[in-house]
């Protein structure tokens, strides 16, 4: 079964064809990230206009080798994401599903991130040559840490479509925190890679930064797995906005100023080594905030494998810390499949189609910018 995936949730216009949920046949991504860099973050209006320009050429390129006749179904991102961006993907997919008479599957973007790790083979093409894929598909029960510019979520899967969201961020996503701290330090957007680079030179213990604590009694797990015992060991929520503010206050103090100094003036007042220390201390605190709940969840749910998905999975210090604790049970896919892509949409589309999940109505499918797993 060959599925065409379409992804347009944020600033990447992407299309991909995947066979049987595991063989990557094509993966095309047009990013408008350079257009947003000047603003230090994604501008929704610019993103939507870029999708409009790129979507048809991107789909053409993805389908070129396989041919429309061999596509069995279309899977499209329904949400969460930016409304203006989602509309372009969903309307294009609806039109194609009707015109080409293919079944249409609506996909949750965050759920799909986990499914990028199910790709284990690829076509013998020049464009896919550099992709390094896991050798085996992840095994259930599975713990998934989804960490990106838009999401921070820990999910326990007993099987396909049988999952419990153990916790998610109550405010900023971890990638967003990397991006905002980078902005404070005058580093380029997206901030994650830049922070990771300067953090290598800094002292991660130079500045003590706070980690969010929650009132466990108010902890509420949304579960769609009947029979999964409601757990008590861990509080799997995340929070990064306090950390971000703490970095701002620490930076102002290091620069010898008070809280009234605007953040955009800070970078010019900090030395290179001060920035390195701030980046390293922030990164250490952010990564510990991610890893502690993973350790508790592993103890509580005893997953066979752990999948780390999303752009922040690129962080090499995170990978080092996780491998220290869990060795080879942690599965990462290629970086080009960790950040937003359409192959993950196609893989989840395959499982929806092959496991009898309902198809969407191409005449009425709506976007859902606030879709939650
Ligand atoms: P995504 O939202 O999945 O497309 O991933 C983009 C996010 O991942 C942005 O917030 C980046 O700052 C972040 N990111 C990318 N590379 C790294 C890295 N090496 N360390 C931390 N964050 C990263
Ligand atoms: Zn994403």
Q: How far is the CA of 199 from the centre of ligand 2 (A)?
A: 24
- The CB of 339 under 6 Å from ligand 1? The reply is yes
Give the DSSP H/E element, type plus range, for residue 252. Answer: helix 241-254
Predicted confidence at residue 226, as pLDDT, reads 36
Ligand minimally distant from the alpha carbon of residue 310 = 1
Q: How far is the CA of 339 from the centre of ligand 2 (A)?
A: 6
Dihedral sign of CA atoms 108, 70, 95, 354 in order: negative
Q: What are the pLDDT tens digits along the chain (373 aa)? A: 999 999 999 889 999 999 999 999 999 998 877 777 777 677 888 888 989 999 999 999 999 999 999 999 999 999 999 999 999 999 999 999 999 999 999 999 999 999 999 999 999 999 999 999 999 999 999 999 999 988 999 999 999 999 999 989 999 999 999 999 999 999 988 899 999 999 999 999 999 999 887 655 444 454 433 334 444 456 788 999 999 999 999 999 999 999 999 898 999 999 999 999 999 999 999 999 999 999 989 998 999 999 999 999 999 999 999 989 997 789 999 999 999 999 999 999 999 999 999 999 999 999 999 999 9
- The CB of 312 under 6 Å from ligand 1? The reply is yes
Q: How far is the CA of 131 from the centre of ligand 2 (A)?
A: 19
For residues 272 and 133, give the distance between their C-alpha atoms in angstroms, rounded to a whole number: 37
Predicted confidence at residue 232, as pLDDT, reads 45
Q: Which two tokens stand for residue 284?
A: 């250490």
- The CB of 349 under 6 Å from ligand 1? The reply is no
- The residues pairing with 121 across neighbouring beta strands, listed in sequence order, are 23
Mutate to test the pocket of ligand 1, among 41, 287, 314, 332 (most ligand atoms within 8 A of CB): 314
For residues 325 and 309, give the distance between their C-alpha atoms in angstroms, rounded to a whole number: 18
Q: How far is the CA of 68 from the centre of ligand 1 (A)?
A: 33
Domain extents for the chain?
Answer: 2-134+337-354, 142-332
- The CB of 282 under 6 Å from ligand 1? The reply is no
pTM: 0.91
- The CB of 340 under 6 Å from ligand 1? The reply is yes
For residues 208 and 184, give the distance between their C-alpha atoms in angstroms, rounded to a whole number: 17
Q: How far is the CA of 108 from the centre of ligand 1 (A)?
A: 19
CATH H-level superfamily of 142-332:
ATPase, nucleotide binding domain (3.30.420.40)
- The CB of 193 under 6 Å from ligand 1? The reply is yes
Same-fold call for 2-134+337-354 versus 142-332? yes
Predicted confidence at residue 224, as pLDDT, reads 37
CATH class of 2-134+337-354: alpha beta
């Amino acid at each position: 079964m060959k599925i065409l995936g379409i992804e347009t949730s944020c600033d990447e216009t992407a299309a991909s064809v995947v066979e049987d949920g595991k063989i990557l046949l094509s993966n095309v991504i047009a990013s408008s990230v350079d257009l947003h860099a000047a603003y230090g973050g994604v501008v929704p209006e610019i993103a939507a206009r870029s999708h409009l320009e790129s979507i048809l050429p991107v789909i053409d390129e993805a389908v070129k080798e396989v041919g429309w006749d061999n596509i069995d179904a279309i899977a499209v991102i329904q949400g969460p994401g930016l409304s203006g961006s989602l509309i372009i993907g969903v309307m294009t997919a609806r039109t194609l599903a009707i015109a080409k008479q293919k079944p249409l599957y609506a996909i949750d973007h965050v759920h799909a991130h986990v499914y990028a790790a199910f790709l284990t083979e690829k076509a013998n093409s020049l464009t896919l040559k550099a992709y390094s894929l896991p050798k085996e598909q992840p095994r259930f029960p599975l713990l998934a840490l989804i960490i990106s510019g838009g999401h921070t979520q820990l999910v326990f899967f007993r099987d396909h479509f049988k999952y419990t969201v153990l916790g998610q961020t109550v405010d900023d996503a971890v990638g967003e925190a990397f991006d905002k701290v980078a902005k404070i330090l005058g580093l380029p957007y997206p901030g994650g890679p830049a922070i990771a680079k300067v953090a290598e030179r800094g002292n991660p213990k130079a500045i003590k930064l706070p980690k969010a604590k929650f009132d466990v009694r108010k902890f509420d797990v949304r579960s769609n797995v009947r029979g999964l015992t409601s757990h008590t060991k861990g509080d799997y929520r995340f929070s990064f906005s306090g950390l971000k503010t703490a970095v701002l206050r620490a930076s102002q103090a290091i620069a010898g100023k008070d809280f009234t100094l605007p953040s955009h003036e800070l970078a010019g007042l900090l030395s290179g080594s001060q920035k390195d220390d701030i980046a390293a201390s922030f990164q250490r605190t952010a990564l510990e905030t991610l890893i502690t709940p993973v350790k508790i969840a592993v103890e509580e749910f005893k997953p066979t494998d752990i999948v780390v998905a999303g752009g922040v999975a690129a962080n090499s210090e995170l990978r080092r810390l996780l491998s220290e604790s869990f060795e080879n049970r942690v599965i990462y896919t290629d970086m080009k499949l960790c950040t937003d892509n359409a192959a993950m949409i196609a893989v989840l589309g395959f499982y929806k189609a092959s496991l009898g999940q309902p198809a969407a109505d191409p005449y009425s499918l709506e976007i859902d910018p606030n879709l939650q797993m």
